[in-house]
Amino acid sequence: MSKQRLNIIKIITMILIVASLIISGKAFLAHRNYKEAVVAGPSVTEVKTLGDYFAPLKGSVADCNIYILDSGKPGGTIFLIGGSHPEEPATNLTAEIFAENAVLKQGKLIIAIRANRSASTVTRPGDAYPQFYNIKTDWGTKKFRMGDRWSNPLDSWPDPEVYVHYPSKQMLAYMDIRNINRTWPGKKDGSITEQICYGFMNVIKEENVDLFIDLHEAELEYPVISTIVAHESGQNIAAMASMMLTDMEFAEPIGIEFSPKSLHGLSHREIGDHSDAVSLLFETPEPFLDRVRGVTDERLLLEGKDPFVMRAGKFGLLYESIDEDGWPIDVRVGRHCSTTLMVSQIWNQTNPGKGVIIENIPKYADVIDNGVGHYFKNPDEAVAEKVFYE
Amino acid sequence: MKLKILLVIACFTLILSFSAHAADLPEFNQPVVVTTCGQSPGALMVKMISQQSNIDCTQKDLLTAQDLKDNEYKTLIITMGTSGKGMGAAGTNMNQEEKRISDLIKTAKELDIKLIGAHVEGMARRVDENDARSIEIVIPDADALLIKNSSNEDGYFTKKSNELDIPVVFFEKNMDMGAAINEFFQIK
Ligand SMILES: [Zn+2]
């Protein structure tokens, strides 16, 4: 090959690389800066941000909104967070339904829709994750950022060789220093993810939270699925809720698991141990997360149908059943809505004087009948002061 | 009207389902202690439902043979089915659980405490080897079984109860569990 031809090939290769860098860079930037509009619901009395509770986070990528729904009638306080792991869409969608619709009749409800904002600004391109997903509503399509399990490496880099959890000193996998459900109860001068948890602990203490609920989704290959994971202090509520929901509402049962005492960094363990709040974590099935899945696209994310995951089920490799109907987003969000409502009802029965009465939230069957999108308000029709961005 | 008919049918089915094998049931007495073979929350569920039915029931997930000697329990309920998270929470494992439960069963026999084996959490607790092991540890020595229908989807417990000639009370919904437990204690 002549030297001239070689140079031409080199130049073309370079142009191709630079072009793909520009195209993908633009896509990454657009994703990171995309804002989801939320219309604050009728009971939202105040919208703070995490930075109001821990100043170093103010204005940072981690500064998520904290919606406060105060009935004005004395009672208890429930704190509901979605988006701990932004690759689990049923969690932020459920939290958003509560923020846009809930009517509080007693007590206070606090909501974070994008608990780990940083992790919602990055996906897993190497795993072919879509960047966005779209939910049909009554007034058009609403677009959401897909995210990852871990905070964005742009915000937290480099990872340590071994992540030593604070304050237990337990050694965990290096990347879990960016996993919000391994960094509870947080660290004031720690990594950004540890600081996020530190900020949330401040919310819990300053707002006197009685009951904390952390929403999640899991792969069907994982044994902790379709369940309520409970700190000791929440075992009775969780057991009663799981029995009632399995009997009365859900097509597939929901179980309960006890939070291991020696597994550190998880919300159901550390919040119960380091605050006065009862701590629960809910799981729904998300076939998108299964490693044996096929095409990894928005359809799988929202419809939850996958022939390979089904095949794994036939071989007895799964901890939850799956058939041709899959696990659609409406079913998953419906389960989170009903579980939250049931837990709050049982809380009210067992904690007189500390009631949190939540109305105007769809139950499991309602979400399946009407679709998730039916419960989102049109930001273009709302007054500007009511619209907040995630 | 439709609802009423449904209710009547439901009640009728319930009565039928409880009485299926009840005739063969030996006599069980209170107070009751419930534990789990494998640290799943089944024992917690049994306790909560029993207490709602006014049965004198204590839950001790790590109940020991010594506890049986130190107290006046008349009936021991052991729930079957395991939880990895639960064993982690309790700081135990399947080998230790097997030892603990075997000791319990032996002591219960010595003290003439009756044993009910219970599987109340459905197929979700019949997934892996540990689940199967926990069932095999408990069933052979049980005086009776309390089984949720959804735990018996494959007919396993029906087969076992016939094979080992152990009476069994099945129930459909969690909220029917109270009535099912009452069967054991002859409470109507
Ligand atoms: Zn998660």
Other beta carbons less than 10 A from residue A24's beta carbon: 11
- Name the residue among A247, A257, A320 with its Cβ closest to that of B85: A257
Q: How far apart are CA B152 and CA B161, in angstroms?
A: 11
**Whether the Cβ atoms of residue B113 and residue B31 lie closer than 8 Å to each other:** no
How many residues are there in chain A? 390
* Per-residue pLDDT, B186: 84
- pLDDT value for B24: 79
In this structure, the strands spanning A77-81 and A108-112 are: parallel
**Rounded to an integer, what distance in angstroms lies between the CA atom of residue B124 and that of residue A224?**
10
Supply the DSSP string of B34-48, one letter for each residue: EEESSB-THHHHHHH
**Is A135:A144 a contact under the CB 8 Å cutoff?**
yes
pLDDT at A2: 86
Residues of chain A with pLDDT under 50: none
* Chain B residues close to A257, C-beta within 8 Å: 41, 83, 85-86
Tell which residue, A294, A307, A309, A301, has the closest CA to residue A328: A301
Other C-beta atoms lying within 10 Å of the C-beta of residue A334: 28
- Mark out the alpha helices in chain A (DSSP H runs): 3-33, 89-101, 192-206, 235-248, 267-274, 298-303, 307-314, 329-350, 364-370
The reply to whether residue B45 touches residue A247, judged by beta carbons under 8 angstroms, is no
Rounded-to-integer distance, Cα A112 and Cα A5, Å: 58
The answer to whether A169 and A176 have CB atoms below 8 angstroms apart is no
Q: What is the domain partition of chain B in residue ranges?
A: 2-184
pLDDT in tens, A129-174: 999 999 999 999 999 999 999 999 999 999 999 999 999 999 999 9
**Can you give the C-alpha Rg of chain A in angstroms?**
21
E strand residue ranges, A50-118 = 65-70, 77-81, 103-106, 108-112
Task: Sort out which chain B residues have CB atoms less than 8 A from A346's CB and list them.
Answer: none
For tokens 């579980």, the residue is: A339
Residue pairs between chains A and B whose CB atoms are closer than 8 Å: 63
Q: How far is B29 from chain A (nearest CA, A)?
A: 25
CATH topology of domain B2-184: Rossmann fold (3.40.50)
pTM, entire model: 0.90
Q: For residue A356, which phi and psi values (nearest 5 degrees)?
A: -130, 105
For residue B140, give how far its alpha carbon lies from the nearest alpha carbon of chain A (Å). Answer: 26
- Give the per-residue pLDDT at B22: 41
Give the pLDDT of residue B188. 64
**What is each CA distance from A326 to A302, A309, A322, A367, in whole angstroms?**
10, 9, 6, 16
CB–CB of B183/B51 below 8 Å? no
Multiple choice CATH, A34-389, 1.10.10, 3.40.50, 1.10.101, 3.40.630: 3.40.630
Q: Per-residue confidence of chain B (188 residues) as pLDDT tens digits?
A: 445 555 544 544 444 455 445 447 999 999 999 999 999 999 999 999 998 899 999 999 999 999 999 999 999 999 999 999 899 889 999 999 999 999 999 999 999 999 999 999 999 999 999 999 999 999 999 999 999 999 999 999 999 999 999 999 999 999 999 999 999 998 76
